[in-house]
Every structure is written in structure tokens, then in C-alpha cells.
Amino acid sequence: MLMNKKKNTLPVYLQSSLVDQLIHNRPQSNSTEPITYLHPPFTFKLASSFGFCFGVKQALEKAYLALSENPGKKIYLLGEIIHNPLVNNDLKENGIEIFSINAAEQLITSLGTNPDPSIVIIPAFGAPKHIYDLLEKNNKQQLIVYDTTCPFVQKVWRRGESLSAAGYSLIIHAKPNHEETMATLSHCASASVIIRDKSDALAMAAFIKGHSSREEFDKHFLTLISPGFNPEKHLDKVGIINQTTMLASETQELTQIISDAFRERYGAEQLSDHFANTKDTLCYATNKNQQACLALANSGAQLAIVIGGYNSSNTSHLVDILSWHMPCYFIDSPKSIISRTLIKHYDCHAKTIKDTADWLEEGNVTIAISAGASCPDYLIEKVIKRICELA
């Protein structure tokens, strides 16, 4: 039984009257101009777009709907619903059991033999294809499925499927271990290879142009190719898709590098026979939040705070953008702000928590604020209030 129709509102604890008021009072909803909030000696400049996206909201609405519709029953979530530890912990405290996606196959098989129906939630990132197939196979009254897969993730799968059907191999710009990437790989029938960054794109371009050997390709891409991938055969006709939350400017740069390589190899007139000319598959929230951070970078702020889960891909790119322009601190809670002289923040590249001393000057300071698509408004309000306590 697939449960998708009714929707609940988000729990009050995720909402913020301060953030609602700031968004309500902004001059134009379609402008990237930052929202100003004055609390002397601080001026906060909030990104014009931040926080919960459509996909996250609908995933949480369905998860809380599953709880309200199935009191006292066991509810299993196949991986984190979104990348925010406080939200996942709240679901756990409400009785939802979070299962690793790697253990999902065994779980579903065992639930399928239970005499009573069990409840399973698929997270916003989606799940590998064989998990949907297994749920369908066991869907004979024993399983009630709340599928919260984001429609923008499904759009990537459809693009991958249509390119596959047209005979293209896939180059996927993505983070290899991200749940969405693993799901996307399983939904695309074609031979595929992941590129993570510019160095991967340049290594691939070198092979396409005949400047590097098969041995060099295999060494570089060993863990990034689908089984049986043969670059001599499969890099003849390719299409590019992206994880929904990648850095837009990086996606454009990598696409250009690969397309230039094909142009050099086959000539401009033959390019369309070998390289699918499609748009990127970044989602609307990724684009809007990154555009808003670019505008925020020019708002006169002296420092930036970005709030989100440390394993959140989209949040890490907001940090990247603001870090190009000013000191930027990636925190997941107001507790990271210890005092004016100490903040504990996450370094996405070193993957460690860092201490920074004397991060907040005395006197008037303008602070840029943004938050990832999986960050609830109440956390943003708590961070702003925590900074105000330091006045």
C-alpha cells in the first residue's frame, strides 16, 4: 500500500516566527537582495533564499504523517530522511527506527513475512532501484510505504534513463558516497562514470583527446566507474547528469571541459553525435540558494555563518561560495558559538571540526547568514539569538 496522498503541516518545533516575519517583510520575493535584520551592534544580512526546500518539506510532512497515522506501530526509515541530525533525532525520539540503506534489503524481506503490516519510509534522497522493486514485490498488504523521494531527484533518474535509452553512456557529476548518487547509479541502465571535481574532468578530457593511456584512466577512475565500464567503448557517446545539489559554477566548468574534449576529438560538426546537449540537473533550491549566497557575498558583511548538517552536500556549497569572499563558519547548532572569542565550526574539505578564536569583533558587525535546504527555521532563529546574546 503506497501512502502519498494526505499531507500534514510541519511540527511547530521546526518553525520560527522570527524567520517567518523576516521573509514576510522582504521587499520582493523574487529578488536576490539579502534580507536585513537589525539588532545593534549587529546587522544581520540573511540570504534571500535559504533553508527548507520543497523536497525536504514534503519528506518531513510525510514522515510525521506516517507517525500520526500509525500510532504505536513500528516505523522503519531507510537511511536519514534528510541530512540534519536534529531532525533525524526527533524522528528517532518519536519512535521511528532508522535503518542503514545497506541493511534495507534484509529488513524488507523479513517485514514481508510478518502477519501484521509494517510501515516503511523512503527518504528524500530516494533509494536504489532494487529496493523499490523489493518493496513492490512485498507489497501485498504486509508493507505500508511512505515514499518521500524528492521529485527533483526522480527528474535526474528520468534524464539518466532517457539518455541511456538513446544509447548514451553517463557522466555523473556527483559525490560518490552520497545516498542520492548511489540511488541514481542504480536507476540508470547505461555504463556510467562519476566525476567529482575539475581534476576528474581534466583526467577524463585527457583520455577523450588521446593524451592519456587506458592504464592511466583505469588508475584514476577505478572506484568511480560502473561494472564493465570500458572507456574506449563507452566514452564515444556521452551525456552528463548531476547530483541535484552540486555547485552550479563547478558543474558548468566541468561540462565545458568535457564538451571541449569531444569537440577537439571529433570536430564541432560531429559534436552532437557524441555529446548530448542537455541542461544540468541541479534542482531549483540549489540554484536559488547559491544565487542568493552570491548576492550575500556583496552585501558588505564582514563574516558569514552557514547553518546545516555537516554531511549536507547543498550546505557545503553555500559555505564554498561565501568562503571565497569572507571568513565563513559552518555550524550545525547555536551551541557551536561558545563566545565572542571562540567558535567551533566544520571544515568541509578537511572534514574536521575547527576552533577559531576571536571570530567576532567588538563594535558594529555585519553578519551574513544562510542555511542549507535541510536546516529548519527554528535553528536559524536560535543561531541569530545566540549571536545577539554576545552584544
Which residues of this chain interact with ligand SF4, rule CB under 6 A? 53-56, 124, 150, 152-153, 244-245, 283, 285-286, 314, 373
Selected catalytic residue, list 180, 216, 269, 381: 180
Write the secondary structure of the chain as one string of H (helix), E (strand) and C (coil).
CECCCCCCCCCHHHCCHHHHHHHHHCCCCCCCCCEEEEECCEEEEECCCCCCCHHHHHHHHHHHHHHHHCCCCCEEEECCCCCCHHHHHHHHHCCEEEECHHHHHHHHHHHCCCCCCEEEEECCCCCCHHHHHHHHHCCCCCEEEEECCCHHHHHHHHHHHHHHHCCCEEEEECCCCCHHHHHHHHHCCCCEEEECCHHHHHHHHHHHCCCCCHHHHHHHHCCCECCCCCHHHHCCCEEEEECCCCCHHHHHHHHHHHHHHHHHHHCHHHHHHHECCCCCCCCHHHHHHHHHHHHHCCCCCCEEEEECCCCCHHHHHHHHHHHCCCCEEEECCHHHEEECCEEEEEECCCCEEEEEECCCCCCCEEEEEEECCCCCHHHHHHHHHHHHCCC
Rank residues 19 and 56 by Cβ distance to ligand SF4 and give the closer one: 56
Rank residues 124 and 301 by Cβ distance to ligand SF4 and give the closer one: 124
Rank residues 49 and 118 by Cβ distance to ligand SF4 and give the closer one: 49
- How far from 207 is each of 204, 214, 222, 251, CA to CA, in Å? 5, 7, 14, 19
What is the C-alpha to C-alpha distance for residues 154 and 160, in angstroms, rounded to an integer?
A: 10
The nearest distance, CB 183 to ligand SF4, in angstroms, is: 12
The nearest distance, CB 205 to ligand SF4, in angstroms, is: 28
Q: Return the C-alpha cell found at 154.
A: 526522480
Please answer whether residues 277 and 349 qualify as being in contact, where contact means their C-beta atoms are separated by less than 8 angstroms.
Answer: no
Residue 180 annotated among the catalytic residues of the structure? yes
Rank residues 138 and 147 by Cβ distance to ligand SF4 and give the closer one: 147
Rank residues 169 and 314 by Cβ distance to ligand SF4 and give the closer one: 314
Please answer whether residues 298 and 324 qualify as being in contact, where contact means their C-beta atoms are separated by less than 8 angstroms.
Answer: no
Please give the residue whose beta carbon sits closest to ligand SF4 in the complex: 55
Would you mind telling me the total number of residues written for the chain in this entry? 391
What is the C-alpha to C-alpha distance for residues 135 and 112, in angstroms, rounded to an integer?
A: 9
The nearest distance, CB 165 to ligand SF4, in angstroms, is: 23
The nearest distance, CB 349 to ligand SF4, in angstroms, is: 21
Rank residues 54 and 266 by Cβ distance to ligand SF4 and give the closer one: 54
The nearest distance, CB 150 to ligand SF4, in angstroms, is: 3
The nearest distance, CB 65 to ligand SF4, in angstroms, is: 17
Rank residues 205 and 283 by Cβ distance to ligand SF4 and give the closer one: 283
The nearest distance, CB 185 to ligand SF4, in angstroms, is: 16
Q: Return the C-alpha cell found at 217.
A: 584512466
Rank residues 124 and 383 by Cβ distance to ligand SF4 and give the closer one: 124
The nearest distance, CB 52 to ligand SF4, in angstroms, is: 8
Task: List, by residue number, the catalytic residues.
Answer: 180
